[in-house]
Amino acid sequence: MTLVLIVDDVPAMAEQYAYDLKRLRGYETLIAKSGRTALESLTRDSVDCVILDLEMPGMDGFEVLRSVERLDLRVPIIVYTGTGDYDRCAQAIRLGAYSFIDGACRLRHFARTHYFRRRHRGVV
């Protein structure tokens, strides 16, 4: 079973992503409402993939990416931002993110075409 950690300080966004992933692919999900909670989950749970909001108060997505690298946690991280700032997404890729999605992009489309499809086929 694929376990996806969704990290977003806006509960409605995280819950929508969790719902879509469960409904479309049957993935199990965990939700972390902060960067610190996400790191705790990553060290405790066997997470297959992370969907990470870059724009969060306190520990933002960039600091989560830096911490994941420092802790040598090997998990694909897909970032998104609701601001539409692709420069920030590119910066996240340079920090080790696997990919990014536009905050306006529906996760349904993403789940059908990107990481999850490749993971399901055993490519990633």
| pLDDT tops 50 at residue 123 | no
Q: At the fourth CATH level, which superfamily is domain 3-120?
A: Response regulator (3.40.50.2300)
Residue 13's SS3 state is helix
| pLDDT tops 90 at residue 122 | no
Say what the pTM is.
0.84
The string of pLDDT tens digits covering residues 53-106 is 999 999 999 999 999 999 999 999 999 887 777 888 889 999 999 988 875 565
pLDDT, residue 51, reads 94
66-74 long-range contacts, Cβ below 8 Å, gap at least 24?
Answer: 66/95, 67/35, 67/39, 68/39, 68/42, 68/96, 69/95, 69/96, 71/39, 71/42, 71/43, 73/42, 73/43
Higher per-residue confidence, 53 vs 122 = 53
For 30, the token pair is 């965990």
Within 8 A by CB and 6+ apart from 98, the residues are: 49, 76, 77, 78, 115
pLDDT, residue 113, reads 52
